[in-house]
Homo-oligomer: A and B are copies of this chain.
Amino acid sequence: MDIVIGVDIGGTKTKIGLVDKNGVCHEKTFFRTQDFPNLEEYLNKIKTTSDEMISNFGKPVNILGCGIGAPNASSKNGTIENASNLIWKGSVPLVEKLKQRMDMPIRIMNDASAAALGEMLFGGAKDMTDFIVITLGTGFGAGIVANGRLIDGYDGFAGELGHVDMTMGDGRLTGLGVRGGLEAYVSATGLKRTVTYMQSKYMVESRFRDVAYNDLHGEDITRAAEEGDEIALKSFDYTARIMAQALANFTAFTQPEAFILMGGLTNSGKWIMTPLEKYFNGFLLDVYKGKVKLLLSSMEDKTAAICGAAALIWENHRKSPLQ
């Protein structure tokens, strides 16, 4: 059975799985990224974890390669560069070093771009040539597909849309110090910041008056909205409005057929989606109105990132006989 090893490198967890040609993740496991401040030991851990999974799998497998999704990854250089939420600093030649341990094709890509490839091969974008995947977690990521191909950029750093300034230089700072950067508003973290901001702006009662910033969780904000908490409702509205403006702006760039949304913030369901759709259609230029879909990812939450990473390798195998 042909199999690709998919690796999703996150600031907290590293997830690994074995993915078949239909995007089914057969084995999966994870370990804590932060337990391996030493890069060499981290790479050894990826190697031993993969080997264990393959031997546990039961059936004989033919490993086609290893695909990796990571923040701030350059697909062209095979590196991770200055990722603010990873332990290893500077430029990390991950592909080169992993190849010394695993003798197979290895590719790395920005995690949101990998997610876009995953949607194209296995998910809701199977028949699309122009779409954008938006990941709404700690940050705001984007994977852009146009003319049926992922947009990498001149040296592999396209799609850093969380750092687009929407405010003419007069807004919140992102973790990277970008003033007015989109992810300071539109992300799970951005929503928390907005709940805090709304408490400063309005004097209405709210359950959040008794909760410190560090104790704020996305699920609680959703629950509060369900209970009619005004601060929660205002926060979703504010977040959705800025996101709608951003997506309307992005539409003018590549005119995607759809935006496919995934990540923590999308778990808030209608509380974010209903105002988002209302504002989005209002902001769209006439020439785009009614033509751009807002979709939630249909990929399984827990394995979407692994399957996206594996898609980096599957992409090269599914082109001719299968697709």
List chain A positions with a Cβ less than 8 A from chain B.
Answer: 72, 81-82, 130, 144, 146-147, 149, 151-161, 163-169, 171, 176, 178, 242, 245, 248-250, 252-257, 283, 285-288, 291-292
Q: Choose one: B245, B252, B253, B257; the contact of A168 (CB below 8 Å).
A: B245
Instruction: Give A281 to B176 CA distance when docked, in angstroms.
Output: 16
Interchain residue pairs with CB less than 8 A apart (29): A72-B287, A81-B287, A130-B153, A130-B154, A144-B254, A146-B146, A146-B151, A146-B153, A147-B151, A147-B152, A149-B149, A151-B254, A153-B255, A154-B256, A154-B292, A156-B255, A157-B287, A158-B252, A158-B253, A159-B253, A160-B287, A161-B252, A164-B252, A165-B245, A168-B171, A168-B245, A169-B245, A176-B286, A250-B253
CB of A248 to closest CB in B, whole Å: 7
Q: Choose one: B149, B249, B288, B291; the contact of A147 (CB below 8 Å).
A: B149
Specify which of A72, A160, A161, A253 lies most central, judged by the most chain B CB atoms within 10 Å of its CB: A253
A257 and chain B: residue at smallest CB distance: B154
Instruction: Give A55 to B186 CA distance when docked, in angstroms.
Output: 61
Q: Choose one: B157, B245, B253, B257; the contact of A144 (CB below 8 Å).
A: B253
CB of A3 to closest CB in B, whole Å: 29
